[in-house]
Amino acid sequence: MKAHIETITDLLLGAAYADKRLEGDELASISSMLCKLLGTDTLPQAQTDRIGEFNPAKFDVTTAAGRLRFESPENKRKVLELVASVSDADEELDFAEDAYLRKVAAGMGLSDADIADLTIEVLEDEDIGGLLKP
């Protein structure tokens, strides 16, 4: 995974900007995740610079995620869990963040079924009626 740290950094930053708002907790969460991935206590200057230079308007999530297409299923899953964790850092459920996670998965060659436990499911009216029946 270290070989793809720039791509992972960008995917995590994209997740933070997915809802058009960058929250302080999201940046702290990203920094912490990157330190753990790199096995360091402090974020290397290269990652700090990358965070500072990230431009969400120019970022292509599908292309970035595609760079991880040939990673193992376990590594793909780990990246998706990290992306989901960034989305959770602001403690708000947001459909834009959910859509972003789906784009990351699709870019890596995964289906919605592969990530069903990480995404938001909207129930249709007819599904709600039987929800509380024994």
What would the DSSP string read from start to end of 87-133? Answer: HHTTT---HHHHHHHHHHHHHTT--TGGGGGGS--PPPHHHHHTTT-
Contact indicator for 44, 86 with CB cutoff of 8 Å: no
CATH number at residue 89: 1.10.3680.10
Indicate whether 134 belongs to any domain. Answer: no
Q: Is residue 54 part of a domain?
A: yes
Asked whether the predicted pLDDT for residue 13 surpasses 90, the reply is yes
Any domain includes 80: yes
Domain containing 118 equals: 2-129
The answer to whether the beta carbons of residues 1 and 37 sit under 8 Å apart is yes
The answer to whether 87 touches 61, Cβ cutoff 8 Å, is no
Where residue 122 falls among pLDDT bands split at 50, 70, 90?
very low
Mean pLDDT along residues 24-53: 93
Cβ(10)–Cβ(61) below 8 Å? no
Specify if 117 maps to a domain.
Answer: yes
Is the full-model pTM beyond 0.75? Answer: yes
**96 part of a folded domain:** yes
85 belongs to a structural domain = yes
Domains in the chain, number? 1
Q: Measure the CA–CA gap between 58 and 49, rounded to whole angstroms.
A: 17
Q: Is 56 inside a domain boundary?
A: yes
